[in-house]
Amino acid sequence: MTSAILSTQPSCDDDYDPDSLTCDEAWRRIHAHVRPLQVAERVPLRTALGRVLAQPVKSSINVPGHVNSAMDGYAIKAHDVPATGLTELEVVGESFAGKPYAGRVLDNQAVRIMTGAVVPADTDTIAPQESVEAHGKWIRIDGRHRLGQHVRRAGEDIESGQTVLRAGHLISPVELGLIASLGIVEVDVIRRPRVAFFSTGDELRSLGEPLGVGEIYDSNRYTLYGMLTRLGVEVLDLGVVVDDPVALTAAFQRASSIADVVITSGGVSVGEADYTKEILTKLGAVRFWKVAMKPGRPLAFGDLGNALFFGLPGNPVSVMVTFYQFVQPALLQLMGANPAPYPTFKARTTSILKKRPGRVEYQRGTLARDANGEYLVTATGDQGSGILSSMANANCFIVLGMESAHVPADTPVDVQPFFGIV
Ligand code: AMP
Ligand code: MG
């Protein structure tokens, strides 16, 4: 997942925690546990955007459906091409896209043809417009034409009967176009996972409510709503639940009875009012609850009835980092897709990056390019887990490996651009 930048031995100044899983191990456990949903549904093509194919898509037609021209020019017979000098051909008709030439073409005749138009049956070669001299109903060609040039074969792109997309393929705009090109109007996709989420905390107020002393607005439900909606899952927002074991137990039970996945934020640290782990142990199973990462160390994963459970930390940046690094790939897997690792490349850091060994850090950065076109990355100010503007002003994660300590300026570091993630 990451690579070490600077190695140091563990010391009292680091952050090694024997109870924490490494990020790689946490993902390995999630990956091994999540079973793709098995229920498929048939939907109109446009509705399939963002969904995963439950069945392969096969073509019942050739694409293109007919032999057609790759150039504007003249359809000719290769045997009319002169060995030396020039020869004249009579232009007997025209074949335009959607309006083929229906007649015969005799020897020493040609048909005016446009790109994409059907190549007349008697012809086999296209003489591009710029290679001939045209004089009214006659063209003059030289000997530089080869049999079959600029002719596109029927089925050149896709042959009838061919499997074009496999089950498990995630439908993006290109697949909508590809499936449309086969004339297919409905596809079989895995049903959308139902994802229920709620925030926990006595200090949280929903939008529209006045704020008392020490109270804050619940922002996590908004970032979660956005991230989940982008993924195309069915979103069930269950509001704010106070830090009370009875209320939390009821909320967990309700959520797990209506959803495939339950996501909470807050209440997973080791504070007095952090009941999540305790309740999860009672109602289901805790598979892990601490990961050696920052932000996001208190991340719980387990089962709640038949639902998967992710207990995200309360801090707003931690919610986003743990969602993108763990929940999003898990949801894709549940949707039947095969989540690919995020694109990661090296960029040189423009200043020192503060870092403690013993955990992977996902700092937030902005990418730029220097005069040589090489990537530079700058951390977006204060990297506190509660500072959501550090995400808003960023366009990438800077991923600093487990063993890394402070990273000096000008060091190449791993970056994950947001456009490959969000
Ligand atoms: P917790 O994990 O519950 O201890 O929360 C850690 C920090 O995140 C605290 O400062 C909380 O006030 C804050 N926090 C928790 N939930 C939310 C939320 N839904 N929106 C904004 N901040 C939150
Ligand atoms: Mg809390």
What are 234's strand-pairing partners? 194
Considering the domain architecture, whether residues 222 and 295 belong to the same structural domain is answered as yes
pLDDT value for 193: 97
Q: 242: domain CATH number?
A: 3.40.980.10
Considering the domain architecture, whether residues 329 and 293 belong to the same structural domain is answered as yes
Asked if residue 422 belongs to a domain, the reply is: no
- Which ligand 1 atom sits closest to the C-alpha of 221? 19
What residue's CA is closest to ligand 1, atom 23?
314
Of 370, 240, 379, the C-alpha closest to 317 is: 379
Find where tokens 């506190």 sit.
384
Last residue of a domain, one of 125, 152, 179: 152
Asked if residue 236 belongs to a domain, the reply is: yes
Considering the domain architecture, whether residues 219 and 330 belong to the same structural domain is answered as yes
Contact residues for 271 (Cβ-Cβ < 8 A; gap 6+): none
Considering the domain architecture, whether residues 279 and 179 belong to the same structural domain is answered as no
Q: 52: domain CATH number?
A: 3.90.105.10
Cα 178 to Cα 120: distance, rounded to the nearest angstrom = 27
Considering the domain architecture, whether residues 121 and 135 belong to the same structural domain is answered as yes
Residue 205: burial class (beta carbons within 10 Å; 0-12, 13-18, 19+): middle
CB atoms within 10 A of CB 36: 17
Q: 391: domain CATH number?
A: 2.40.340.10
Considering the domain architecture, whether residues 315 and 270 belong to the same structural domain is answered as yes
Q: What does residue 155 show for φ and ψ, rounded to 5 degrees?
A: 75, 10
Of 19, 24, 26, the C-alpha closest to 287 is: 26
Half-sphere exposure at residue 384, Cβ-oriented, CA atoms within 13 angstroms: 5
Q: 96: domain CATH number?
A: 2.170.190.11
CB atoms within 10 A of CB 339: 17
Cα 412 to Cα 410: distance, rounded to the nearest angstrom = 7
Cα–Cα distances in angstroms (integers) from residue 74 to residues 105, 109, 139, 150, 156, in the given order: 12, 10, 9, 10, 21
pLDDT in tens, 26-64: 999 999 999 999 999 999 999 999 999 999 999 999 999
Tell me which DSSP letter residue 59 carries.
Answer: -
Asked if residue 330 belongs to a domain, the reply is: yes
What are 265's strand-pairing partners? 199, 312
- Structural domain count, the chain: 4
pLDDT in tens, 308-362: 999 999 999 999 999 999 999 999 999 999 999 999 999 999 999 999 999 999 9
Considering the domain architecture, whether residues 98 and 168 belong to the same structural domain is answered as no
pTM, rounded to two decimals: 0.86
Cα 343 to Cα 341: distance, rounded to the nearest angstrom = 6
Cα–Cα distances in angstroms (integers) from residue 224 to residues 221, 301, 373, in the given order: 5, 17, 35
Asked if residue 340 belongs to a domain, the reply is: no
Is 316 touching ligand 1 by the criterion CB < 6 Å? yes
What residue's CA is closest to ligand 1, atom 17?
314
Is 271 touching ligand 1 by the criterion CB < 6 Å? yes
- In a 3-state reduction of DSSP, which class is residue 142? coil
Considering the domain architecture, whether residues 276 and 224 belong to the same structural domain is answered as yes
Query: Ligand 1: which of 197, 216, 227, 244 to mutate, most ligand atoms within 8 Å of CB?
Result: 216
Is 201 touching ligand 1 by the criterion CB < 6 Å? yes
pLDDT value for 15: 67
Considering the domain architecture, whether residues 288 and 354 belong to the same structural domain is answered as no
Query: Ligand 1: which of 197, 200, 202, 204 to mutate, most ligand atoms within 8 Å of CB?
Result: 204
Cα 204 to Cα 115: distance, rounded to the nearest angstrom = 63
Cα 239 to Cα 198: distance, rounded to the nearest angstrom = 5
- Beta-strand pair 375-379/345-349: parallel
pLDDT value for 10: 45
Is 311 touching ligand 1 by the criterion CB < 6 Å? no
Written as six digits, the tokens of 113 are: 């043809």
Is 47 touching ligand 1 by the criterion CB < 6 Å? no
Asked if residue 4 belongs to a domain, the reply is: no
Contact residues for 2 (Cβ-Cβ < 8 A; gap 6+): 23, 360, 399, 400, 401, 402, 414
Ligand 2 ion local residues (Cβ < 5 A): 201, 266-267, 314
Is 203 touching ligand 1 by the criterion CB < 6 Å? yes
Cα 142 to Cα 149: distance, rounded to the nearest angstrom = 14
Query: Ligand 1: which of 315, 318, 319 to mutate, most ligand atoms within 8 Å of CB?
Result: 315
Written as six digits, the tokens of 308 are: 């998967």
Last residue of a domain, one of 334, 355, 385: 334
Domain with 120 in it: 68-152
- In a 3-state reduction of DSSP, which class is residue 222? helix
Considering the domain architecture, whether residues 359 and 413 belong to the same structural domain is answered as yes
Written as six digits, the tokens of 322 are: 């743990």
Asked if residue 1 belongs to a domain, the reply is: no
CA 421 – ligand 1 centroid, Å: 24
Asked if residue 339 belongs to a domain, the reply is: no
Contact residues for 347 (Cβ-Cβ < 8 A; gap 6+): 365, 367, 374, 375, 376, 377, 396, 412, 413, 415
CA 241 – ligand 2 centroid, Å: 10
pLDDT value for 13: 52
pLDDT tens-place values along the chain, 422 residues long: 433 333 334 444 566 777 899 999 999 999 999 999 999 999 999 999 999 999 999 999 999 999 999 999 999 999 999 999 999 999 999 999 899 999 999 999 999 999 999 999 999 999 999 999 999 999 999 999 999 999 999 999 899 999 999 999 999 999 999 999 999 999 999 999 999 999 999 999 999 999 999 999 999 999 999 999 999 999 999 999 999 999 999 999 999 999 999 999 998 877 766 788 889 899 999 999 999 999 988 999 999 999 999 999 999 999 999 999 999 999 999 999 999 999 999 999 999 999 999 999 999 999 999 999 999 999 998 888 888 998 999 999 999 999 999 999 999 999 999 987 76
Instruction: Tell me the chain's radius of gyration from C-alpha atoms.
Output: 31
pLDDT value for 9: 44
Confirm if 310 and 299 have CB atoms less than 8 A apart. yes
Asked if residue 3 belongs to a domain, the reply is: no
Considering the domain architecture, whether residues 30 and 55 belong to the same structural domain is answered as no
Residue 259: burial class (beta carbons within 10 Å; 0-12, 13-18, 19+): buried
The number of the ligand nearest the C-alpha atom of 317 reads 1
Considering the domain architecture, whether residues 301 and 213 belong to the same structural domain is answered as yes
What residue's CA is closest to ligand 1, atom 6?
314
Query: Ligand 1: which of 202, 220, 299 to mutate, most ligand atoms within 8 Å of CB?
Result: 220
Last residue of a domain, one of 93, 128, 152: 152
Cα 129 to Cα 114: distance, rounded to the nearest angstrom = 10
